[in-house]
Amino acid sequence: MKSNNPPLGLLFVVVGIGVFLNAFRIHSTHQIEDELVDFIIAQAEFNGDAMKDAEELTRAISLFTEPRRAFSDSTGFDAKFQQTIARSPIITFIAYGGGACGFSSEVGARVFEKSGYETRFVQVQNQIGQTHHVVFDVRKGDFGPCVVDPIFGHIFLDDYGHGLSAEELKRNWPEVQPSLPDGNRLSEYSYEYGVQFTNWRRFGSLEAPIKGVLSVFVADLESFSLRSWYNRFMRVFPGLSFTLSLALIWLGSKTWTKTRKA
């Protein structure tokens, strides 16, 4: 008796096509993001010194982030663009504005990564232990970690060109704060209460299991940025998906052919 259910091979093919189309969508989004990021990088003048190049990249980023911050402060962010944030915070920020520090940090971190720096998202805490600002730190060779605040176009350096880490900002904030530039709200975001690199509490009851799995691969979870890791994974995700989709389509066609012959 012949079954009315769709052949298993056909299901493999359909799923494979779905995986391929999703991978193509993400890949296309990454291409647009990279074009935007490359344009920002092109505004910087490099000389091969990690510290000076970091200053140049911060300046180039500020050409895009500061006007959008000012626009958002005066007009707000249109709620209809909220749905695009999950797909691409970078495109959302560049195309539609939005003054959220997290958006500009997504842009800034990608700019530095494409320029050869290691990056890590940093969540600045307030007096009750909640995140009230998002920045990132960078490292390249002997330079760093150094905190960059892209929404205000500022890189934290001391008088000798040494990059200041989040820990150094916490320890020396009373000395650092008076030296910050006037004209924006940069100095309002105090580092004296410390930072976190991942908000583990947001996972609730899943916090312990997630940490347990990650601890197998990561030695120091308290200095680990899950968002940074996720962004890097999503960069290779389309390639993995394309491979999986082709495998599913091949397996489906082979299975379907055998079923029909049987």
Question: Is residue 46 within 8 Å of 139, Cβ to Cβ?
Answer: no
Per-residue pLDDT tens digits for 206-232: 999 999 999 999 889 999 999 999 999
- To the nearest whole number, what is the mean pLDDT of the chain? 87
Q: Which residues fall within 8 angstroms of residue 79, CB to CB, at 6 or more apart?
A: none
pLDDT digits (tens, 9 = 90+) for 22-36: 999 999 999 989 999
- pLDDT band of residue 4 (cuts 50, 70, 90) is very low
The residues near 221 (Cβ < 8 Å, ≥ 6 apart) are: 198, 200, 211, 214, 215
CA 154/CA 236 separation, integer angstroms: 30
pLDDT score of 3: 52
Looking at residue 52, what is its pLDDT?
95
Query: Are the beta carbons of 7 and 232 closer than 8 angstroms?
Result: no
* Res 161 pLDDT > 90: no
- Using alpha carbons, list the distances in angstroms from residue 196 to 35, 45, 93, 178: 31, 32, 24, 24
